[in-house]
A and B are shown apart, each in its own frame.
Chain A
């Protein structure tokens, strides 16, 4: 790293420490994932248990539990029932969702925050927190300001009975997946279609990575790659039954604050049944 002028040793250490402390997800191949116990259920009422973690290999519990402060469950009728049995383990968080109405349930973890570093009175300062706190504590024209706003959405879906789509519409904030093929109606070997939207508008030219679960038990990651078209659409063929991790991210300057970049990311867990 090249520094414009010498800084005290301590300040330099603080500066170098920033990327490590400030990027809970998205960077450094630490992938956030939700792992549902089931995604297709029958009967009048069912339970789904979820593991939520962050690790290099999706669904492999070997790094960190996911923070669930931004967990929102959306029932088919649009209501937001509370989760049950939430707990945090060493490598993964857990929670249960009681599917007590038919249709598709959307399970979302939103991660939002600002982080940045700047110099003030010759000292290196850094910040991590909410937008409100950022606007309050970080001077608008801070010297050497390097700041990023993060908005990340981590999702999966579970359906009791017949798949529905009412609650799968985009909210218009950050990067989101709009199903063309229903996420609980995927077929091995067939083309599945989706659209990515950024703030509700088509997200064109975005790279999408899909990784089949179970990397531990094979030699190659077998990543599947796609890129969104002008209308934000992309297609992937999921070759065989199993869980799949999907990830995409966009970096732009639409943080809403001058000189602050934005990282919008989207992750989903998709299950393909035999």
Chain B
């Protein structure tokens, strides 16, 4: 995992991309999302539930990338709060049988979290313009949705985008390798 902020990651990657130009054909297509989960000073902190998905321009869901929730609770009790990811739930979450391989995962700690989705997983995603959507909902806390426009697949060079959350999410970055 790269630890440099995205703004600095771009030039470094471009140079790496040039250096590896001959090997380009075998380099896997990849979509990497970085999500900053803010450290909050509250009396009782619970890690947020987070859903990450790609939506089409008409806001329908094109692909679910991740749902971080209390997967380990007994009797699937963690699923009872999935509906608090309000937009994700309405736009496809409720159609899923949880857990979903490669999508479900445990909640993540505050800090910079990274999700990498290989080109294989997105092989059936038609080329086009999408929004990467990140939604967070926290027990006893708030809810926030952040969107970042994404072109899939990247046209030529590594493409990046970012947006800033203000309460339940910090910086959200997307990087698409061609």
A interface with B by C-beta (< 8 Å): 28-29, 56-57, 207, 209, 219-221
Q: Are B44 and A29 in contact (CB under 8 A)?
A: yes
Q: Are B144 and A221 in contact (CB under 8 A)?
A: no
B143 interfacial contact with A, CB 8 Å? yes
The 8 closest A-B pairs by CB, nearest first: A220-B142, A29-B140, A29-B44, A219-B143, A219-B142, A56-B140, A221-B142, A56-B139
Number of CB contacts from chain A to chain B under 8 A: 20
Residues of A within 8 A of B44 (CB): 28-29
Docked Cα-Cα span, A213 to B140, in Å, equals 13
Q: How far is the CB of A66 from chain B (nearest CB, A)?
A: 19
Docked Cα-Cα span, A28 to B140, in Å, equals 10
B167 interfacial contact with A, CB 8 Å? yes
Residues of B within 8 A of A29 (CB): 44, 46, 139-140
Q: Are B140 and A220 in contact (CB under 8 A)?
A: no
Residues of B within 8 A of A220 (CB): 142-143, 167
Residues of B within 8 A of A209 (CB): 43
7 CB contacts below 8 A, A to B, read: A29-B139, A219-B143, A219-B167, A220-B143, A220-B167, A221-B140, A221-B142
B78 interfacial contact with A, CB 8 Å? no
B141 interfacial contact with A, CB 8 Å? yes
Docked Cα-Cα span, A207 to B43, in Å, equals 10
Residues of B within 8 A of A57 (CB): 140
Docked Cα-Cα span, A56 to B139, in Å, equals 7
Docked Cα-Cα span, A28 to B46, in Å, equals 10
Docked Cα-Cα span, A220 to B167, in Å, equals 8
In the complex, which residue of chain B has the Cβ closest to the Cβ of A209?
A: B43
In the complex, which residue of chain A has the Cβ closest to the Cβ of B167?
A: A220
CB contact list, B103-162 vs A, under 8 A: 139-144
Q: How far is the CB of B166 from chain A (nearest CB, A)?
A: 10
Residues of A within 8 A of B46 (CB): 29
Docked Cα-Cα span, A207 to B144, in Å, equals 27
Using A56-B140, A209-B43 as known contacts, list a sample of 18 further A-B pairs with CB atoms less than 8 Å apart, ordered by residue number in A. Answer: A28-B44, A29-B44, A29-B46, A29-B139, A29-B140, A56-B139, A57-B140, A207-B43, A219-B142, A219-B143, A219-B144, A219-B167, A220-B142, A220-B143, A220-B167, A221-B140, A221-B141, A221-B142
Residues of B within 8 A of A56 (CB): 139-140
